[in-house]
Chains A and B, each alone.
Chain A
């Protein structure tokens, strides 16, 4: 019984961690809803474009560069961070839209 309880608690803890591993970021009025985000390795950000224009999230941070491509209004894109480090993200079209992501 004790083993079962511990197992259930572990599963619940893992599930909670899995939920926390994804952060939702919206883009509206040429702004991201977050400026700084902390994630664990393997965590992800769900980017939602609630704006009326196309955005393009990308990073040129050495060792962490990526580009999700054009994201039209209404589209959702998930990006997973597989390596630890500090990653600076921008919109390649509207570069004042910036987020700092710390992946631990």
Chain B
């Protein structure tokens, strides 16, 4: 059902890459961020699987437009989507922490502790089911969940009215969704469109895959070999973003049964959680769905022999018997995923309405009125008829 947006981010649309800040990034590199410099060399199958895609996939049901992505970015950063008017999507999905929050588990409305770690939204355009347990079928379906849930505690039925009261949003929705305007479905579509534009920058690993032998260290190259063979990480961490988008029990000893709550009759889905991307991994500590492991070294130790044995444990998880040198090589490899992700600039948000509609009408020359200077100053309106 997905449709590749051909050359999606070229031209005007390119400004959306990485949250609009990639223009400078692209200029620096002198190339489109969607084009890898070369295909993997050496006939190495493992490397071929990691070549970056050349375009972002957008679904036929919600194709890319610049207007939708622009609107989605404003909504993503706008705390008025929450019940408190204080929490935005970006509060937890903080670009400064590679679109996570750097906490073991997130905090929501009135500092309510959330059950699982905030997942990054990096490269979610390539994902399948969303949430740690895959309970939502698409980004569109997921988008309104946190707004109405424990995270943002908004009365979802009131969101449309609240946004409609903001003049700038009325305009932005009319431009992005001509003839439709502000609806819950369109809020979700705009948010999902923006989220799909959030893509990892090119990392040293990408340069190596594209043929630059000096892009990563010898230790990292050994680590890549371990990753694909002895350590078996590639059984699940596969594809350019380092995830199969699948659900696996990796033997963490907590009580959360994850996808087991959604699909109840499959043993292997008990305690199973979605494989996260490996992109910007060092920036996204702590790790795992429960944030229980603080460092990548702890993660490697977990997979080496620290996991809980139980029936639901993934068939891919077995004791690895890695030496300390091998663990260090694996870590060196994982650190090559730190990309040149562009700085993300928080967007200017549509201002709340300053004056009641009736008053604006009074100011309107069409109504024959000429406003008091003081009123114009109060309203901070910079209209000709206020001068």
**Distance A17 CA – B316 CA, assembled complex (angstroms):** 42
Are A95 and B245 CB-contacts (below 8 A) given A60-B137, A67-B263?
Answer: yes
> A28 interface residue, CB < 8 Å from B?
no
> A74 interface residue, CB < 8 Å from B?
no
> A92 interface residue, CB < 8 Å from B?
yes
**Distance A90 CA – B246 CA, assembled complex (angstroms):** 11
- For window 258-278 of B, CB contacts with A under 8 Å fall at 259, 263, 265-269, 272
Contact at B315–A56, with CB atoms within 8 Å?
no
> A13 interface residue, CB < 8 Å from B?
no
> B128 interface residue, CB < 8 Å from A?
yes
- For window 117-164 of B, CB contacts with A under 8 Å fall at 128-129, 134, 137
Contact at A67–B265, with CB atoms within 8 Å?
yes
> B248 interface residue, CB < 8 Å from A?
yes
Residue of A nearest to B135 (CB): A60
Contact at B268–A54, with CB atoms within 8 Å?
yes
Which residues of B have CB within 8 Å of A100? 1
Contact at B128–A92, with CB atoms within 8 Å?
no
> A93 interface residue, CB < 8 Å from B?
yes
State the Cβ distance, A55 to closest chain B Cβ, in Å.
9
- Of A52, A67, A95, most B-chain CB atoms within 10 Å: A95
Which residues of B have CB within 8 Å of A60? 137
Interface residue range, chain A: 10 to 19
> A53 interface residue, CB < 8 Å from B?
yes
State the Cβ distance, A61 to closest chain B Cβ, in Å.
10
* Cross-chain contact of A93 among B1, B137, B265, B268 (Cβ < 8 A): B268
**Distance A47 CA – B283 CA, assembled complex (angstroms):** 41
- For window 26-79 of A, CB contacts with B under 8 Å fall at 30, 52-54, 56, 58, 60, 67, 69-70
**Distance A98 CA – B246 CA, assembled complex (angstroms):** 12
> B244 interface residue, CB < 8 Å from A?
yes
**Distance A58 CA – B269 CA, assembled complex (angstroms):** 13
Residue of B nearest to A30 (CB): B244
Which residues of A have CB within 8 Å of B246? 30, 93-96
Contact at B316–A94, with CB atoms within 8 Å?
no
Total A-B pairs, Cβ < 8 A: 52
Chain A, residues 81-104, CB within 8 Å of chain B (1/0): the string is 000000010101111101010000
Which residues of A have CB within 8 Å of B267? 70
Residue of A nearest to B265 (CB): A69
Contact at B265–A95, with CB atoms within 8 Å?
no
Contact at B316–A53, with CB atoms within 8 Å?
yes
Contact at B134–A95, with CB atoms within 8 Å?
yes
Residue of A nearest to B239 (CB): A96
**Distance A94 CA – B128 CA, assembled complex (angstroms):** 9
Which residues of A have CB within 8 Å of B137? 60
Which residues of B have CB within 8 Å of A56? 263, 266, 268-269
**Distance A44 CA – B269 CA, assembled complex (angstroms):** 26
**Distance A94 CA – B274 CA, assembled complex (angstroms):** 10
- Of B248, B266, B316, most A-chain CB atoms within 10 Å: B266
Q: A30-B244, A94-B245, A95-B128 are in contact. List 13 more A-B contacts (CB 8 A).
A: A54-B266, A54-B268, A56-B263, A58-B263, A67-B265, A69-B265, A69-B266, A88-B1, A93-B246, A93-B266, A94-B244, A95-B134, A100-B1
User: Could you name 23 residue pairs across A and B whose Cβ atoms are closer than 8 Å?
Assistant: A30-B246, A52-B315, A53-B315, A54-B266, A54-B268, A54-B315, A56-B263, A56-B269, A67-B263, A69-B265, A70-B265, A70-B268, A90-B128, A92-B134, A92-B247, A92-B259, A93-B246, A93-B268, A93-B272, A95-B245, A96-B128, A96-B244, A96-B245
A-to-B contact residues, CB < 8 Å: 30, 52-54, 56, 58, 60, 67, 69-70, 88, 90, 92-96, 98, 100
The 4 closest A-B pairs by CB, nearest first: A95-B128, A94-B246, A70-B266, A92-B263
